[in-house]
Amino acid sequence: MDSIERATHWDAVYGAKADAELSWYESEPAVSLSLIEAAGVPTSAQAIDVGGGRSRLAEALLERGHLRPTVLDISATALAGLRARLGPRAERLQFIRADVMQFRGERRYGLWHDRAALHFLCRPEEQRAYAATLNSALEPGGFAVIGTFAKDGPERCSGLPCARHDAASLVALLGPDFDLINSCTHVHHTPWGGAQRFQFCVFRRVLE
C-alpha cells in the first residue's frame, strides 16, 4: 500500500464514521496521559501526536499546559474533523498532513506520542522508515510514548493487517539511542464492548 492509497483509505474511514463507530475511540486518552505524567514530561515540551486522527490527546495536552501541540496524520479528513470539533481552540494546535514514514519537519519535538498508528506499518522497511522519522524528529532527552497492538492483540483493524509488538520488539526497532523507561499492557474496550490488548512503551532519547 503506497502513501496515496493509505491516505485514501483513512479519508474514507473518517468520512464514513462518527467517533463512536471507530474501534479505537476513547473519550479520554487516560493511559497516554498517565504515562506522560509518570515520565515527568515537562509542559515546556513541544508535542507531536503522530497518527493523531480525531483523538482527544492534543486538546488534553493543551490543558496540561503544552504550547501549540502538533497533530500529524495521513488523513486530511481526520484533521478537518478534529479542527471542526475544536472550533476556535484549533488555532492553538498545529496540523500536519503527512505520511509518518516520509515526514521530515523543520523543528524537533520534546514529546512524540503515537497511539495505534505504528501497528499499521507491517513490513520491516516501513517500521524502519517510522523509526528514522522518530530519530529525526525527537530532540535529545525527548520522550516517546508509543502504544501499539500487543503480541496477543488484534491481527487486523479498520480493514488493514496490523503488526503486533511487545516491549522487546519496540526496543529493537528504536535502537540504542532510546532508553525504555516504562511499559505496560492495556486492554482497550471498543465502543461496542470488544477487547483489544495494547502494548504501551515510554522511551527517552539519550542526550547526545
Ligand X SMILES: C[S@@+](CC[C@H](N)C(=O)[O-])C[C@H]1O[C@@H](n2cnc3c(N)ncnc32)[C@H](O)[C@@H]1O
Binding site for ligand X (CB under 6 A): 6, 10, 24, 51-53, 55, 73-75, 78, 99-101, 115-117, 120
Shortest Cβ distance from residue 55 to ligand X (Å)?
Answer: 3
Q: In terms of CB distance, is 90 or 116 closer to ligand X?
A: 116
CA–CA separation, 77 and 71 (whole Å): 13
Q: In terms of CB distance, is 182 or 190 closer to ligand X?
A: 190
Q: In terms of CB distance, is 6 or 83 closer to ligand X?
A: 6
Q: Are 104 and 48 in contact (CB under 8 A)?
A: no
CA–CA separation, 156 and 185 (whole Å): 18
Shortest Cβ distance from residue 10 to ligand X (Å)?
Answer: 3
CA–CA separation, 186 and 189 (whole Å): 10
CA dihedral 97, 98, 103, 104 (to 10 degrees): -30
Shortest Cβ distance from residue 202 to ligand X (Å)?
Answer: 16
Shortest Cβ distance from residue 53 to ligand X (Å)?
Answer: 3
Backbone angles phi, psi at 119, to 5 degrees: -70, -10
Q: In terms of CB distance, is 77 or 178 closer to ligand X?
A: 77
Q: In terms of CB distance, is 52 or 69 closer to ligand X?
A: 52
Shortest Cβ distance from residue 152 to ligand X (Å)?
Answer: 18
Among 53, 4, 59, 50, which residue's Cα sits nearest to residue 24?
A: 53
